[in-house]
Amino acid sequence: MFGFLKSLFGKLVGLILLVAAAYAGWQWGPEVFPRLQDWLARSRAGVSEEIPATPELADSVMFRVQDFRGGNGPDQLVLGEEELTSVLLYSVPGLIPIGVSEPEVRLSDGRVHGRARVALEAFPDLPDLGPIIGMLPDTLDVGFEASLMPFGERRAALLVHSLSAARIPLPGRLIPEILTAMGRGQEPGLPPEALLVSLPSGLASAYILTDSLILSRHP
């Protein structure tokens, strides 16, 4: 079960980084985008948070996940946004790269809203922007909106609805390109704006309902 959360968070963080790369390529030229792989390979560091995420809450979530995996309690596990952000910050070490701060996960209206701040100085070498560089912010506020829904046996689909950087909506045509860069494979029935997330054995489905992530296991 932890592997599922780590895989899901990894895709969300990767999406944040690739949105930043797409913004750089969109604004300053396509030569920036391919350099992201080198950036992703750099060392990782800790981050700060804005919503009340705590190590204690992360530990509580991981205990509940292990208990759920053991077949105890109801057949559904319900996790809220504070719990998910706590796990992201404190229970998945090494996931957040240097230069990424204030990551958060919010759930509302059946969708996941992710955001983080990405420092330009940690970004792949940008083109020489001359006097324009002084007009740019030190960090980009990057965000996305997506849905998580069941997709076949032991899989879920993360369907990306919108992307933004520096509070500017990015063209929807960039979404399939970004997901392809994340390793999206071809799958019958999978929209080009969606990524597959594998579920561990024993887990029947994963989806977002109103303001919660619902994990269900086989009865």
Domain assignment of residue 147, given as a range: 2-217
Q: pLDDT of 118-154, one tens digit each?
A: 876 665 544 444 443 444 567 778 889 999 988 887 7
Report the 10 Å Cβ neighbour count for 96: 21
The kind and range of the H/E element at 212 are strand 212-217
Residue 48 scores a pLDDT above 50: no
Q: Using DSSP, state whether 102 is helix, strand or coil.
A: strand
pTM tops 0.85, yes or no: no
**Total domains in the fold of the chain:** 1
pLDDT band of 19, cuts 50, 70, 90:
confident
CA angle 44, 53, 100 (to 5 degrees): 30
Q: Which one has a higher pLDDT value, 30 or 152?
A: 152
* Whole-angstrom distance, CA of residue 98 vs CA of residue 83: 23
